[in-house]
């Protein structure tokens, strides 16, 4: 199948990107809807093998074949197990740009390789890092920072050191609790501080960790430390912030952060153990690699202010 040119336009529908193609015949430009043939009529996503069809030739993807209980959504006939091999071969002949080409990705892929790339494309939008509600907002980092500030009312803090106090009455009743996310701006980057309570094994714990608003490769350029204590004791944690490409739950479930057992948290809180009073301090620094020694040297940025 030959195409003389592809228009540089984009149609956004139901979360997928579709290209319309044009073909020049005798000086006239004819619209070609071959890409639309590969859209499943049920979910509207692009179809990948096995592509199924009914006896009347209507097609749909294998996932939706199960969803419609093996009955064609167009003519209501039984689907059976007929493969549309012709359409699968058409798909094999196509090359398409990454759906994030409008965000700057220049790469072009065969039809069947495109999905894998798009799931890993460095220019794909980020998901909202707010934990505590199911937020489906996506966008670039400046957009998400404004979204967190304006829509989620997240506390914004400038500087690489922080000092937060977390208070909770009736801590023995806390099984799952998420404190308000705090966003820090330092070194020209944004970081998210999380603190929450959840069940780990047989007992509840409190956990604090930091996420980097950017990709994993850039996150590895930074380190952070957290400290909590009281009554002459303290716990410290030092690590690398995780990228927000990793979901909040994934980071939490991997235990990649400062974990405080409830008994220790109440000990740090002092008093009669009827109220949680934890003060978590921390700092972020950028690792500067010394080419002569091969040693990473911390670069500490002075804070603008602390949040208590």
Alpha carbon distance 169, 216 (integer Å): 37
Domain boundaries, the chain: 5-93, 126-300
Q: For position 271, what pLDDT does the model report?
A: 64
Report domain 126-300's class: mainly beta
For 163, the 3-state DSSP assignment is strand
| Structure confidence by residue, pLDDT tens digits, 212-226 | 999 999 999 999 999
Q: For position 218, what pLDDT does the model report?
A: 94
Give every residue of the chain whose pLDDT is below 70, as ranges. Answer: 1-33, 132-133, 170-180, 271-273, 289-308
Residues 6+ apart with CB under 8 A from 145: 156, 183, 190, 213
Residues 6+ apart with CB under 8 A from 138: 125, 126, 127, 128
Q: For position 283, what pLDDT does the model report?
A: 95
What is the reported pTM?
Answer: 0.69
Q: For position 299, what pLDDT does the model report?
A: 53
Q: For position 2, what pLDDT does the model report?
A: 32
Q: For position 27, what pLDDT does the model report?
A: 33
Alpha carbon distance 87, 37 (integer Å): 8
CATH number for the segment(s) 5-93: 3.30.40.10
Backbone angles phi, psi at 86, to 5 degrees: -65, -45
Would the CATH topology of 5-93 be identical to that of 126-300?
no
Whether residue 50 has a cis bond before it, omega within 30° of 0: yes
Q: For position 249, what pLDDT does the model report?
A: 86
| Structure confidence by residue, pLDDT tens digits, 130-160 | 986 678 899 999 999 999 999 999 999 999 9
């Amino acid at each position: 199948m030959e195409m003389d040119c592809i228009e540089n336009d984009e149609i956004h529908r139901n979360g997928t990107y579709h290209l319309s193609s044009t073909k020049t015949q005798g000086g006239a430009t004819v619209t070609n809807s071959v890409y639309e043939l590969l859209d499943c009529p049920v979910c509207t996503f692009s179809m990948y093998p096995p592509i199924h069809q009914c006896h009347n030739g209507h097609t749909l993807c294998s996932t939706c074949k199960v969803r419609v209980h093996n009955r064609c959504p167009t003519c209501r006939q039984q689907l059976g197990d007929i493969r549309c091999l012709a359409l699968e071969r058409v798909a094999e002949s196509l090359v398409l740009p990454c759906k994030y080409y409008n965000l700057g990705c220049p790469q072009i892929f065969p039809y069947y390789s495109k999905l894998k790339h798009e799931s890993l494309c460095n220019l794909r939008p980020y998901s909202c890092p707010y934990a505590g509600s199911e937020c489906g907002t996506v966008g670039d980092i400046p957009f998400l920072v404004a979204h967190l500030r304006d829509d989620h009312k997240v506390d914004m803090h400038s500087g690489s050191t922080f000092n937060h106090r977390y208070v909770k009455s009736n801590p023995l009743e806390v099984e799952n609790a998420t404190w308000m996310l705090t966003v820090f701006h330092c070194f020209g980057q944004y970081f998210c501080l999380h603190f929450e309570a959840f069940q780990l094994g047989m007992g509840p714990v409190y956990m604090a960790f930091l996420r980097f608003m950017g990709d994993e490769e850039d996150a590895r350029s930074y380190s952070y430390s957290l400290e909590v204590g009281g009554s002459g004791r303290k716990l410290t944690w030092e690590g690398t912030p995780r990228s927000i490409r990793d979901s909040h739950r994934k980071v939490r479930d991997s235990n990649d952060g400062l974990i405080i057992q409830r008994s220790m948290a109440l000990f740090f809180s002092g008093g009669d153990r009827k109220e949680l009073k934890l003060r978590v301090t921390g700092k972020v620094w950028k690792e500067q690699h010394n080419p002569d020694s091969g040693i990473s040297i911390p670069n500490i940025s002075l804070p603008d202010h602390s949040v208590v």
